[in-house]
Structure 1
Amino acid sequence: MVVDVDTVTSEGPADTEALGRAWGGEVDPGWVILLYGELGAGKTVLVRGLARGLGSPARVHSPTFNLLHVYRGGRLPLFHLDLYRLDGPEAVVNAGLEEYLVNEGVTVIEWPERLVGTAPWPAWAPLPRRLRRVHLEILGPNRRRIIYEDVGLGLLG
């Protein structure tokens, strides 16, 4: 059951970052945000805004080569995973990332299809308090359509 669906058009990175900042004020422990979109769609820009909205002073990077960055110093810790280089759920477990999926902070996952496939959430993983699925579509050089839906506790399993 989908709780809420919304669409935002971003006219540039500043708009995308501002949306992330706004989300930083509403997230709670145990939230998971799944970011879908091709390379250059603005996923890391959105995460940078989320970190700022949580009050983290950290410099946000794409974790593509590290798989995980943890940003602390804000209202909640932010766990930023990038699964682009992994082949599937087994590779996530083999990399030791399952403990970061649902935790005391907020988890953001880029390239979540490597984890969930076509399912809303893996059956073997603990359920997040809230799951936000975000699709970023490139409309032009700086313009993006951001569609997101929230699924609440207990509605995934």
Structure 2
Amino acid sequence: MSISEPSSIRLHTDLILQGAEAQEAFGQCLAAYLAPPLMIYLEGDLGAGKTTLARGILRGLGHQGAVVSPSYTLVETYRPGDFALHHLDLYRLGHAEELEYLGLEDLCDGSGVLLVEWPERGAGVLPAADVRIRIDHRKQARALGLLGESAVGRQIAEQVQAALMSEKLL
């Protein structure tokens, strides 16, 4: 699938991850292909491992410090390398319009990558996703769906899929 296909065509990859370590490893793999500007939606129930995946992405970008859930602060910004990664958790957002008070316009200035947990809470205000990642509980494992929604998102999904296949993880 090439990135020149119409935007209605999306690339989707599914995999089963056994434990938090596997989720972090997937995040590290994904990190190798991230560059701004990029919008990533992280979807899943409470406790699905969205912040665990974010921790893996940050580790893959070289961040060595703590990675905390932005459940109460709503936004945590990290600068692990050449660009900022903004991790948003919109679970406690009352209305999508509150994103303006969080400085969404500044966060979306094109110089960073945004990881957004609970993106449906920002519907109508939040920019469209380039990449959508869905995490679902599967007993002791997690089912993860990676969906490239924009041209750049599809390119990332293709690269991650190829990397996982070369490691025989798919």
TM tier, smaller: 0.7 to 0.9
Deviation at 1:126, TM superposition (A): 5.8
TM-score in terms of structure 2 length: 0.77
Whether 1:133 and 2:140 are equivalent positions in the alignment is: no
AA paired with 2:145?
I
Larger deviation, residues 144-153 vs 5-14: 144-153
Measured in 2, the distance between the counterparts of 1:83 and 1:96 equals 13
Residue in structure 1 matching 2:119, options 103, 112, 115 = 112
**Equivalent runs, 1:70-89 vs 2, <5 Å:** 70-89=77-96
Deviation at 1:3, TM superposition (A): 3.3
SS in 2 for 1:33: strand
Measured in 2, the distance between the counterparts of 1:102 and 1:10 equals 33
Measured in 1, the distance between the counterparts of 2:32 and 2:152 equals 23
Residue in structure 2 matching 1:19, options 26, 30, 37 = 26
Number of positions where the alignment pairs a residue of Structure 1 with one of Structure 2:
146
**Is the Cα contact below 8 Å between 2:119 and 2:126 reproduced in 1?**
no
**Is the Cα contact below 8 Å between 2:41 and 2:132 reproduced in 1?**
yes
Partner of 1:45: 52
AA paired with 1:109?
V
Q: Give runs of ≥4 in structure 1 deviating > 4 Å.
A: 124-128
Between Structure 1 and Structure 2, which shows a larger proportion of helix residues? 2
Q: Which has the larger radius of gyration?
A: 2
AA paired with 1:37?
G
AA paired with 2:144?
I
Structure 2 runs not aligned, ≥5 long: 1-7, 154-170
AA paired with 1:147?
G
TM-score in terms of structure 1 length: 0.83
Measured in 1, the distance between the counterparts of 2:16 and 2:60 equals 19
Deviation at 1:102, TM superposition (A): 5.2
Measured in 2, the distance between the counterparts of 1:28 and 1:115 equals 23
